[in-house]
Amino acid sequence: MALPQTKLDATDARLSALSLPAGPAWLVEARETALARVQAMGLPSRRDEYWKYTRPDTLVQADPVPAALFDGGEAPVFDGIDALQIVFVDGVFDADASDDLTGEGLEITRLADAPDIHWAKDLYGQLETNGQKPVERPLAALNSAFATDGVLIRVTAPVSRPVNLSYVHRNETSDAILHHVVKLEEGAALTLLENGPAAARFNKVMEVEVADNASFNHVRAQGRDHERRAATHIFTRLGTESAFKSFTLTANGVMTRNECVIELTGDDAIAHVAGACMGDGKDFHHDDTVFITHDALRCESRQVFKKVLRNGATGVFQGKILVKEGAQKTDGYQISQSMLLDDDSQFLAKPELEIYADDVACSHGSTTGAIDETALFYLKSRGVPTDQATDLLVLAFLAEAVEEIEAEELRDEITARLQGWLERRRA
Amino acid sequence: MLEIKNLQVKLEEEDKQIIKGLDLTVETGKVHAIMGPNGSGKSTLSYVLSGKDGYEVTGGEALLDGEDILDMEPEERAAAGLFLAFQYPVEIPGVGNMTFLRTAVNAQRKARGEEEMSSTEFLKVVRERAKTLKIDADMLKRPVNVGFSGGEKKRNEILQMAMLEPKMCILDETDSGLDVDAMKLVAEGVNALRAEGRSFLVITHYQRLLDHIKPDVVHILANGRIVKTGGPELALEVEKNGYADILAEVA
């Protein structure tokens, strides 16, 4: 089917502002195929059903909207966590600020330095390609074609020290495209942290292959620069008895679209994805889009998304569980909730279940509501001022999502950040 | 301590007068009880005094140590020393009981310009006071009132009272939903807090709570007014004959 002319024009405008980076033959090939995919799909436009609630314009246009740097006067999230640091400044790897890319059970290569022969050649752009069906994700294909940097991480054993990807934003007009590939071999385990705004506009793809009995933990805190924009994708494929757990904290940022595409292909695998979001202001827009495919026996998936929106902020949740024929004993759970602190804020939710197996347990729920006035009065009657009482209830509301983080140290770090931000907001 | 003069209250939503010219004075250090039949305005009185939304004061005043509290926010009334033990304590999922208590104690201290309590000091005091109310460490850790039994909820109210050390305590049907043992435990908690500088207003349907918390003065509230005031014997009279006789007598 031919693409509409406006879409063709918009796609051409964006593509002409970019050039395919050089690299080893396998990567050049992967980029060229990705480019062909983008050209065939066209970049998202407002008419697309999948972008009904989120305007893709600023994510698609040739040049990024400049974003002022934000200094919250605080240490980066996860600074207190002992981790292997990998730093990108406006989308470019910073060797001086990063640790040596070595560690027991870890093999880390910078994408820009990828050699002629490398394990990532079987994965780069592959999981992304798999994730293009049944719904197209053109911004991810664009990323595979034009990503200039990123890391390729192979994990061969359980690794206890997390890897922390820090994304520093220094240039007000930066447009960063990063692509990471993570491969967890059988029985391996890794905790991957991500933090920071990255750039004025950030397009990031992370492909994660989790082999049998391997486990991947992901905790991310997206940067607080008010004007930053981001479109991120996680594509993951899970082997037998493997586990994937991902949590994202978002506060500030005018535009965020986080897509998470999970394929449970091995029996007894587990996938949990969660997000806590605090949005403030009428230009705040945050979109969580999740697509989980059950294609094996007895797998468990869980989606827990909570948003607190105020002063006209908008939150979006599109979450789908697809249970394929034969994926018996699937256990799927999805909850998306928002707390609206005023009449101007809005939450748009599209929860979906599509089930082709007859012996499954799937549930989903979505709620939106105001703060609990009874609880608020109870707190006030004990002497807690209105704004502090509101914050307590906001934290309590988000806690269900934060509790999805398994490691106590990380959970506490996220909670402490939330508390700190709320307190400073009051001051 | 507490002076209520010609108080008149109606529901905001509907044009319904609930309190119709109520006068009541609770002296410092005294325990007053208010008894009355269903619908007489007992709970409305406690909510209006603590500042709950949904009620409109159409006349009169309520002074706490000479200061009119009716224009204050609920948290200002609390900081001024007013405490309401709820008839139905509210469950707050996600907020730890301990966090709640410490936030409340320190918010009040801050509002009064006092130094905040350190976490070590707070922990010490809360453990000690929880123990006398048979509140265990688990109840302190759990979210506020979530999964608490009726008795646990009421004990938790008294613990809050013990921590906040208010000067004017209003107990709204604290005995409702309690068995005899639980009621005794709650009453002991209240009695332990009786002090020279602290007054109580105990609102109840039944005399039996007053067996344990001995009032100095008993008032009968009916149809939005105090219709009779007497000593503890008035409560016994209600217990024996019901409200009908008294209401007939004052009518």
Consecutive sets of 10 residues in chain B, 251 residues long: mean pLDDT of each?
94 89 94 91 93 93 94 95 94 92 94 91 92 88 92 93 95 88 89 92 89 93 92 88 81 66
Q: Could you tell me if A250 and A225 are in contact, meaning their C-beta atoms sit under 8 angstroms apart?
A: no
Give per-residue pLDDT as tens, A227-240. Answer: 999 999 999 999 99
Chain A residue with minimum CA distance to B46: A381
Q: Quote the CA–CA distance of A32 and B242 in Å, as a whole number.
A: 90
Contact with chain A for residue B94, Cβ under 8 A: yes
Could A379 and B104 be called an inter-chain contact, meaning their C-beta atoms sit closer than 8 Å? yes
- Best of B46, B75, B91, B141 to substitute, by most chain A Cβ atoms within 10 angstroms, is B75
Residue % of chain A over a pLDDT of 70:
100
- Chain B residues whose beta carbon lies within 8 Å of the beta carbon of residue A386: 73, 75
Q: Which residues pair with A322 in a beta bridge?
A: A293, A354
B121 class by beta-carbon count within 10 Å (0-12 exposed, 13-18 middle, 19+ buried): exposed
Contact with chain A for residue B21, Cβ under 8 A: no
Q: Could you tell me if B130 and B140 are in contact, meaning their C-beta atoms sit under 8 angstroms apart?
A: yes
- Chain A residues whose beta carbon lies within 8 Å of the beta carbon of residue B78: 380-383
Could A396 and B100 be called an inter-chain contact, meaning their C-beta atoms sit closer than 8 Å? no
Residue length of chain A: 427
- Chain B residues whose beta carbon lies within 8 Å of the beta carbon of residue A374: 90
Give per-residue pLDDT as tens, A239-278. Answer: 999 999 999 999 989 999 999 999 999 999 999 999 999 9
Could B74 and A381 be called an inter-chain contact, meaning their C-beta atoms sit closer than 8 Å? yes
The dihedral region occupied by A139, where left means phi > 0, alpha psi between -120 and 50, and beta the remainder, is alpha
pLDDT at position B245 is 80
| CB nearest A381 (choices: B84, B99, B103) | B84
Chain B residue with minimum CA distance to A390: B95
pLDDT at position A209 is 98
pLDDT at position A1 is 61
- Best of B92, B144, B157 to substitute, by most chain A Cβ atoms within 10 angstroms, is B92
Could B108 and A375 be called an inter-chain contact, meaning their C-beta atoms sit closer than 8 Å? no
Of residues A183, A193, A181, A186, the one with CA closest to residue A157: A186
- Chain A residues whose beta carbon lies within 8 Å of the beta carbon of residue B104: 379, 382-384
| CB nearest A392 (choices: B73, B79, B95) | B95
Give the global pTM.
0.91
What is residue A332's three-state secondary structure?
Answer: strand
- Best of A376, A381, A415 to substitute, by most chain B Cβ atoms within 10 angstroms, is A381
What ipTM is given for this predicted complex? Answer: 0.95
- Return averaged pLDDT per consecutive 10 residues of chain A, 427 residues in all: 88 94 96 97 95 96 94 86 97 97 96 95 97 96 97 98 97 97 98 97 98 98 94 98 98 95 98 97 96 98 97 97 97 97 96 96 95 96 95 94 96 93 83
Of residues A255, A232, A228, A198, the one with CA closest to residue A76: A198
pLDDT at position B244 is 82
Closest Cα of chain B to A400: distance in Å? 8
User: A88: which 2 tokens?
Assistant: 């990108």
Domains of chain B: 2-95+166-250 (3.40.50.300)
pLDDT at position A343 is 94
Angle between helices B97-111 and A386-402 (to 10 degrees): 160
CA-CA-CA-CA torsion sign (A291, A295, A298, A299): negative
Contact with chain B for residue A364, Cβ under 8 A: no
Closest Cα of chain A to B200: distance in Å? 17
Q: What is the mean pLDDT of chain A?
A: 96
Could B92 and A385 be called an inter-chain contact, meaning their C-beta atoms sit closer than 8 Å? no
